[in-house]
Copies of this chain bind each other. A is one copy, B any other.
Amino acid sequence: MAEKRRSPCTMSLKAHAFSVEALIGAEKQQQQKKKRKRVEDGAVERVAPADGTDGASSLHLQQPGPPELEHSVCSILTSSPCEDTYGVVKPGNGPCRSPITPPAVPSQTTLVRVDLQGAELWKRFHEIGTEMIITKAGRRMFPAMRVKITGLDPHQQYYIAMDILPVDNKRYRYVYHSSKWMVAGNADSPVPPRVYIHPDSPASGETWMRQVISFDKLKLTNNELDDQGHIILHSMHKYQPRVHVIRKDCGEELSPVKPIPVVEGEKAFSFPETIFTTVTAYQNQQITRLKIDRNPFAKGFRDSGRNRMGLEALVESYAFWRPSLRTLTFEDIPGIPKQGSGPANSHAHMLPGSPCSSPAFHIGANSQLCGLTPADYSACGRSSLALNRYSTTLAETYSRLTNSTSESFAQRTPSYVGMSMNGNDNDTFGCPQTSLSMQISGMSPQLQYIMPSPTSNGFSSSQPHQSSYNAFRLHSPCALYGYNFSTSPKLASSPERVLSSQGSFLGSSPSGTMTDRQILPPVEGVHLLSSAGQQHFFDSRSLGGLTLPSSQVSAHMV
């Protein structure tokens, strides 16, 4: 029981789990409570940064330049190099970083940089006023967050995670006659915050850097009792995604004694063009058009005029000369599903082909629609004490929005954040990007608490504030291999896969320690074969601890 006493999280979890069904009845109460606070503050024509104090805390890490600057860089340097985390101060690192492995791997000087992929498409939505559907069952984002990360320690393990912050404490409504979003009151009460950990986590820096990291499997929901792990958001609110790069220091499972380490750098990256308003049905028809034009799954609603030979076009054309009946051979029928597979097909109920940039739908909005001013972007430079690097992030935001006692956390958990703007040299994959970069080195003790630990055997702790979560990655989807939603209009209808920069299964280098830390004689050659998309292989000759002399040494991570 002494062990159980140290596990309040688990016990609370189970209690919550058992009460889920009981809570369903309370859902309406929650909604009523939510609407109770919905006060019409009066229409604000332009969603002004009146929430500056509230929203700025979640934006201080954003791209410092104006939204139009595609390739700006936000560099955040911390005062504590990672080497300080070695050895005695963080003994947990000792067993992991062996004295034989050269500790000179420059994880302490890494300038982590995160590039938003598909920034052009994000900007096109942003110019209109991005809307994201949220449903009870969960709805994907479109565009999905897709980033390219550079500057990681190739041999360090990282978790990549994403959460979504409220931009302000306002509720919005869309005024159709003016085609504008207006403040409709204060924000609803906060929902259970959730973080989407990229299913490939943890992985080596080399692995992360080799590919576009897509969050396309992430789903948004408005069901506060969601049990599917989706991110819970309020409808008609403004939010902004945020990407986290979290070092997986193996110390937290290994070190029985863990002192509170010094601050080692902030690791959250957000992009102003990814701000969106949550809706349950699209409000702005320009958004609808752009979604239909760009999302392959909405191809059935495209009506771009060309290749308009779908079923309804067929119906119309035939109906022209034979109104309701015609003689068909069955050779016609198998072709029907294929006809819709072209670049576009038509639907009579769709609005006639009008590009999303059509003046007829351009409502004169709103590069500032989301309440961000250039001043907000320049407000990311902060410095304070050295306890927690996430001071002005979610915890602070929530504490401010909820007026909870955690407000004080923001004060005693400042971040070492220094920012500098660099040029735009990050056109990886030929796609426009927005990039943020910062130095990351270690991790705060609090971060360690939330880091799942696949190596849980023999977990131990001599301090009551340490824990590890293991094997959290079950059922991980292949998120890295989702669509590459091209930001190029000419590629919009031909989605391409997000591929590793190396390409094929045997064509790319393996992960992390595979490259220069493995110590295997040829006869013991190990064959880590990880599928380009789906599978993970060893050379089975080595499974028995033996390999044939003719073993084909091939390993791959894609």
Contacts and interface: CB of A to CB of B under 8 A. Distances in A.
Given A390-B543, A478-B476, A229 B518 contact: no
Contacts of A249: 457
Given A13-B509, A96-B455, A539 B195 contact: yes
Interface residues of A, number: 187
A347 interface: no
B556 A517 contact: no
A535 B199 contact: yes
Interface stretch (A4-12, A39-47, A123-131): A4-12
A536 B201 contact: yes
A281 interface: no
A178 interface: no
B543 A195 contact: yes
Interface string A236-269: 0000000010011110011110000000000010
Contact of A12 (B4, B203, B535, B554): B554
A475 interface: yes
A297 B139 CA distance: 26
A454 B8 contact: no
Interface string A435-459: 0000000001111011011111111
Nearest to A331: B324
A472 interface: yes
Interface in A499-558: 502, 504-522, 524-550, 552-558
Interface string A181-205: 0000000000011111111111110
A548 B95 contact: no
Q: Which of A198, A249, A458, A555 has the most chain B CB within a 10 Å cutoff? A: A458
Contact of A203 (B9, B470, B511, B522): B470
Give how many copies assemble into the complex: 2
A22 interface: no
Given A203-B454, A394-B543, A229 B537 contact: yes
A258 B521 CA distance: 15
Interface centre among A399, A446, A508 (most CB of B within 10 A): A446
Contact of A534 (B100, B475, B547): B475
A373 interface: no
A511 B474 contact: yes
Contact of A194 (B318, B474, B539): B539
A198 to B, nearest CB: 8
Nearest to A23: B506
A558 B226 CA distance: 14
A16 B506 contact: yes
A228 B532 contact: yes
B465 A230 contact: no
Contacts of A509: 10, 13-14, 17
Contacts of A248: 454-455, 457
A532 B475 CA distance: 7
Contacts of A268: 543
A454 B454 contact: yes
Contacts of A337: 337
A222 to B, nearest CB: 16
B155 A9 contact: no
Contact of A3 (B517, B539, B552): B517
A405 B207 CA distance: 36
A156 B457 contact: yes
A529 B552 CA distance: 40
Nearest to A211: B474
Given A406-B549, A409-B546, A517-B7, A394 B540 contact: yes
B193 A539 contact: yes
A398 interface: yes
Interface in A393-447: 393-396, 398-399, 402, 404-406, 409, 413, 444-447
A72 interface: no
Contacts of A528: 450, 452, 469, 472
A460 interface: yes
Given A98-B458, A100-B460, A537-B196, A520 B474 contact: no
A218 to B, nearest CB: 7
Given A468-B513, A469-B526, A546-B406, A458 B395 contact: no
A302 interface: no
19 contacts: A6-B519, A7-B515, A13-B510, A13-B553, A13-B555, A17-B509, A93-B458, A98-B253, A155-B457, A161-B538, A197-B536, A200-B475, A218-B535, A228-B532, A326-B328, A328-B328, A395-B545, A404-B548, A450-B542
The 6 closest A-B pairs by CB, nearest first: A98-B460, A446-B545, A97-B458, A390-B544, A229-B531, A96-B458
